[in-house]
A and B are shown apart, each in its own frame.
Chain A
Amino acid sequence: MAHITKATSVRDWFDQRIALTKLWNVLAGQYWIPKNINFLWAMGVVLTVLFTLLFISGLLLLMYYKPDANLAFDSVNYTIMKEVEYGWLWRHIHAVAASVIFLIIYIHAFVGIYYGSYKKGREMIWISGMLLFLIFSAEAFSGYMLPWGQMSYWAAQVITQLFGGIPFIGGALVEWIRGDYAVSDPTLTRFFMLHVCLLPIVIIMVIGVHFYTLRIPHVNNLEGEEIDFELEAEKYLKGDTVNSKVIPFWPGFLSKDFFYVSLFMIFFFYLVSFHFNFAMDPINFDPANAAKTPTHIYPEWYFLWQYEILRGFFFDIGPLKAADIGALAMAFAGISLFFMPLYDRSDVVAPAHKRKGFFIWFWLLIIDLIILTVYGKLPPTGFNAWIGFFSSVGFLALLLVVLPIITIKERKANK
């Protein structure tokens, strides 16, 4: 055991027992952040704040929500919205945060792509981040079901039916996932378990991993410059804070983050107070009805691009059925960005505007995703179907063909 002496202060008492100062230094006080980064690097902290908001508002909703197919709809739309004091506020915070968190996740991820933060030593940061995106998608979907409105019900119907596309075991698998022949009470209760227990635990663990993966390669910066963090940190600790290229996470970086978080919170609560409707589909204010599909069903905005890829392939190609190609393409789209470090064959780490081909590629990808998102919401008939088809093919081609080609060229040109 360590040699314990009489404590000189409360802090010293804890220091001797749980090395408080050391822990603080590892987590914040001497966790080094490059100086040349801008507000786009604040998205990580914004996401942490949003997740905390979701967690807390979720706890308050959980006290009144009833996971039962007969009671769920009223427990949300009557009890929480009308009876519980400030119930509406928690619900709107929860719904708006669930929607906005995807916006920030997308910005966070595309900043990573723009600055090449997924490669050369930072692959694990990228992969753990994509893993978080995937689990967040499952979390969002399982939560979307809980109010048991029409859209909830039919979203669950369609998403669970997707597993029916798996050869041989598909039909049985769908019944197993639902716990019934159709989406019904057992389906609701198991998604409830996933949403409030299993997935949040997994998310918190993966967030821990995601933070940890930053410790060794450190965050990227505006120039993609390779910084010797140990050397620069030494400079800083010696008092040469002006010439050092790094600052500690606390107080230097976080104080700036808090400023951006404050701005963001103003925007966020403006949405919660005045524009919460965008996160609430009107169809979901009809109770679930297993005997009637709404005429036009679509997912929340953040899944539209994947949804459009699912239905983009509307004709059979040779022996492949349209439905199977679509399901495969969507399954691939869901995990495709995991492999960014593999598609990008050049090891230049620089912002996109300093890599010409990559720059064009980046904006083409963004445009394609926007088109997919817009058309994902429109009815898939006639001309729309073709736009859906070409932008789906475009997405796959951009990642699988165009990116490897331009980055191999870039590598050769640099030799």
Chain B
Amino acid sequence: MSVQKQERRDFIGMAFGAVAAVGGAFALVGMKKSWDPLPSVKAAGFTTVDLSPMQPGEFRQVEWRKKPIFIIKKDENMKANPSRDVVVGNENYIVTIGLCTHLGCIPSWSASDKMFKCACHGGEFNADGMNVFGPPPRPLDIPPFKIDGTKLVLGEEGPEYKKLVATA
């Protein structure tokens, strides 16, 4: 090849670079999307819990989106906390995702001292789900919910949920 043909080589090189870059970008998007949760996983996102049978002071664990959800019905000894409590009727409940905000272990509810204790790295949360000791960086998360009579629908953002996260 003669030296004068250099521009042609450059053009071929740039053309290849452009096609490869576009193709590569599309391939990456495709690969990223293949790893996303499937539609069937996303759709199975709602759980309804009837709160009316709960006794004051009772602790309950339900499952939502494969995550444990902690529900406590507060009794008269437990102080109301307007920025954490879910009010259904005129009862106050604590509803949180039962995964430690540190690395995601499930803390266990210790009814005697009214605390959630995480065995993994020693994190502790009080009954309102506030982190009080150890590595957890923030209080237990509140799952999106909607109130429907005495029922709690997990997975949908109702007005009560929006108000609660706004104050938290």
Contacts and interface: CB of A to CB of B under 8 A. Distances in A.
A380 B41 contact: no
A381 interface: yes
A181 B102 contact: no
Contact of B121 (A177, A179, A311): A311
A296 B119 CA distance: 6
Given A154-B105, A180-B41, A291-B61, A297 B120 contact: yes
B67 interface: yes
Contacts of A186: 37-38, 41
B99 to A, nearest CB: 8
A290 B97 CA distance: 13
Interface string B100-134: 01111110100000000001111000000000001
Range for the number of chain A residues in contact with chain B: 35 or more
Interface string B8-23: 0000000000000000
B137 A323 contact: yes
A190 B122 contact: no
B41 A292 contact: no
B36 interface: yes
Interface residues of B, number: 28
A179 B136 contact: no
A379 interface: yes
B104 A291 contact: no
A295 B41 CA distance: 29
A380 B134 CA distance: 10
B135 A295 contact: no
B137 A297 contact: no
Given A158-B104, A181-B65, A290-B66, A176 B137 contact: no
- Main SS of the interface on chain B? loop
B37 A291 contact: no
Interface in A361-389: 379-381, 385
Contacts of B156: none
B57 interface: no
Given A186-B37, A321-B137, A291 B105 contact: no
A323 B136 CA distance: 6
Contacts of A161: 103-104
B66 A180 contact: yes
Contact of B106 (A190, A292, A322): A292
Interface string A282-325: 00000000111111110000000000000101100000011110
A184 interface: yes
Contacts of B121: 311, 314, 380
Nearest to B105: A293
B37 A181 contact: yes
A182 interface: yes
Interface in B60-94: 61, 63, 65-68
Given A314-B122, A314-B134, A381-B122, A179 B68 contact: no
A297 B135 contact: no
Contacts of B122: 314, 379-381, 385
B105 A157 contact: yes
B102 A323 contact: yes
Interface in A136-168: 154, 157-158, 161-162, 164
A190 B37 CA distance: 12
A324 B35 contact: no
Given A154-B105, A157-B104, A158-B103, A322 B66 contact: no
B55 to A, nearest CB: 22
A96 B119 CA distance: 28
A68 interface: no
Nearest to B65: A181
Nearest to B98: A291
A326 interface: yes
A199 B124 CA distance: 38
A385 B108 CA distance: 21
A292 B41 CA distance: 21
A175 interface: yes
A176 B102 CA distance: 19
A158 B67 contact: no
Given A322-B137, A323-B137, A181 B66 contact: yes
Contacts of B65: 181-182
A214 B86 CA distance: 65
B135 A314 contact: yes
B66 A326 contact: no
A65 B106 CA distance: 29
Contacts of A293: 105-106, 108, 119-120
B42 to A, nearest CB: 9
A379 B137 CA distance: 20
A182 B37 CA distance: 10
Given A181-B45, A293-B108, A381-B122, 8 more contacts: A157-B104, A181-B66, A182-B67, A186-B41, A291-B106, A295-B119, A323-B136, A326-B135
16 contacts: A157-B105, A158-B103, A176-B32, A178-B37, A179-B36, A182-B67, A184-B66, A293-B108, A295-B119, A313-B135, A314-B134, A314-B135, A322-B134, A322-B137, A323-B101, A323-B102
The 9 A-B pairs of least Cβ separation, nearest first, read A161-B104, A182-B66, A181-B65, A321-B137, A293-B106, A293-B105, A323-B137, A158-B103, A295-B119
